[in-house]
Amino acid sequence: MKSRIPIAILIVVSTLAFCLWGPVPRLLFLLICGLASVWETWQILSRGSHWGYGAILLAFVLVCALVSLLHGAAFWCAVAFFAAAQLILTSGALTYRAGQGQKALWSLTALVYPGSLFALLLYISQDERWLWPFAVGQLTAWICDSAALVVGKKWGRHGLSTSVSPHKTLEGCLGGAAAALPTGLICWALFRGSCPLSPWAWMLLCLLCSSWGQIGDLAASLVKRAVGVKDFSNLLGPHGGVMDKFDSMVFSIPLAYLCFRIIGVM
């Protein structure tokens, strides 16, 4: 546990530094994270073979990112991929049984996860008000996931989806959702001078994104469970791979952005 804390602090500080540095460092940072996550996903799915398959995945995330950045209408294409990823991975995570449908899962994962999700993050990162959805996604990931872990370890009795993630519990999920309410107040305090949302709206938004982020975490567990690995890679030492840190944020940040767009404040 002690070895994890310095690395966790370094990850948080590095993420904040690059994101707040400016649009170009933010773009490059997310692009590197996206490429690393695609490589990790390809590696565990292909088991080190089929280099051409890996090249296709890398090309996919690059093309998707560039198109999204160079043409605004491509945002809706990214949204379509995002919706497909949500449906495929959420349904898979909730219905998965050991030994069923791994090959189909691998094919679908290669098409929409995680490349298209990172492409959407790249698009959002260049918006004038990018900080709002990123703050919601990152704070709910850091605060709510930590609360879910603590509550689940102390009071967890009922498994959420034991075939996918045996350590996730219903109590932990509810604890993470409850932590979204004070997280919403933190967001309101940070942005009340620039964003017209009320404290109640911020709390509701964080609750929604926290819940969807937990589904993203469960979806990542589904991918790892299907191929029998604990982490996507060991790039971050005891914290696993890059995708292990972004698994909930690639769900929650785009959802927060879509909510802001629907409300009409972005």
pLDDT digits (tens, 9 = 90+) for 110-154: 556 777 778 778 888 888 889 999 999 888 888 887 787 788 777
Check whether 23 has a pLDDT greater than 50: yes
Q: Which of 70-84, 85-99, 137-151, 185-199 has the highest mean pLDDT?
A: 185-199
Beta strands in the chain (DSSP E): 159-161, 165-169
Q: Is the pLDDT of residue 223 over 80?
A: no
Write out the two tokens for 256.
């927060």
Of 195 and 6, the one with more pLDDT: 195
User: Which pLDDT value is given to residue 191?
Assistant: 93
CA distances from 139 to 31, 66, 205, 213, 237 (A): 21, 27, 12, 11, 23
Q: Examine the pLDDT at 228 and tell me if it is beyond 90.
A: no
Q: How far apart, in whole angstroms, are the C-alpha atoms of residue 151 and residue 70?
A: 44
Report domain extents, the chain. 4-263
Decide which of 129 and 78 is more confident.
129
Cβ 121 vs Cβ 254: under 8 Å:
yes
Residue 233: what are its φ and ψ, rounded to 5°? -165, -170
Question: Predicted confidence band at 106 (pLDDT cuts at 50, 70, 90)?
Answer: low
- Angle 264-216-49 from CA coordinates, rounded to 5°: 125
**What pLDDT, on the 0 to 100 scale, is given for residue 1?**
47
Higher pLDDT, residue 143 or 197: 197
Lowest mean pLDDT among 7-16, 31-40, 105-114: 105-114
- Cβ contacts of residue 29 below 8 Å, gap of 6+? 15, 18, 19
pLDDT averaged over the chain? 75
Q: How far apart are CA 101 and CA 99, in angstroms?
A: 7
Q: Is pLDDT above 50 for 97?
A: yes
Evaluate if residue 199 carries a pLDDT over 90. Answer: yes
pLDDT of residue 90: 60
Token pair belonging to 156: 């967890």
Q: Is 80 exceeded by the pLDDT of residue 60? A: no
Dihedral angle computed from the Cα positions of residues 46, 52, 55 and 60, in that order, rounded to the nearest 10 degrees: -90
169-188 pLDDT tens trace: 777 778 888 888 899 999 99
Contact 140, 185 (CB under 8 A): no
C-alpha torsion sign, points 106, 110, 111, 113: positive
When pLDDT is averaged across residues 99-104 and rounded to a whole number, the result is: 52
